């Protein structure tokens, strides 16, 4: 990104901060002024970004991402349910294993070593 574009992005961020600060400092009784000021600062920031390379880079990235998302082969409903079932079974087996280990260690430490009942 060129230094001019970095300055544009910096100005856009400053506009957003200024709008948020103005929103906080304008009395609540002037709520319409608060909202309009915030919206104007957001629109001004978007306008500054619109004329920077960031906009072009963002749209190029979004377009490329959309092309890649179209290439994805999604699983069928049957495959989704099968994988979900396998995950649940694995979690159940792991939970049972952890319960057995926990109870075994509790028995070893409290009953055998310490002699508590």
Question: What tens digit of pLDDT does each residue of 87-102 get?
Answer: 999 999 999 999 999 9
pLDDT digit string (tens) for 47-95? 988 888 888 888 999 999 999 999 999 999 999 999 999 999 999 999 9
* Ramachandran area for residue 115 (φ above 0: left; ψ -120 to 50: alpha; else beta): left
- Could you tell me the pTM of the whole model? 0.50
Q: Which sequence spans correspond to the domains of the chain?
A: 3-70, 74-117
The pLDDT of residue 105 is: 95
Burial class (CB in 10 A: 0-12, 13-18, 19+), 55: middle
DSSP tag of 28: G
């Amino acid at each position: 990104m060129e230094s001019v574009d970095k300055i544009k992005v910096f100005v856009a961020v400053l506009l957003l901060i200024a709008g948020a600060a103005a929103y906080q400092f304008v009395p609540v009784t002037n709520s319409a002024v608060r909202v309009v000021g915030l919206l104007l600062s957001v629109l001004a920031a978007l306008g500054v970004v619109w004329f920077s390379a960031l906009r072009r880079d963002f749209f190029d990235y979004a377009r490329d991402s959309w092309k890649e998302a179209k290439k994805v082969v999604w699983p069928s409903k049957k495959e989704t349910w099968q994988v979900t079932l396998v995950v649940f079974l694995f979690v159940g087996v792991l939970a049972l294993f952890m319960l057995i280990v926990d109870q075994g260690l509790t028995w070893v430490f409290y009953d055998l070593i310490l002699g508590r009942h």
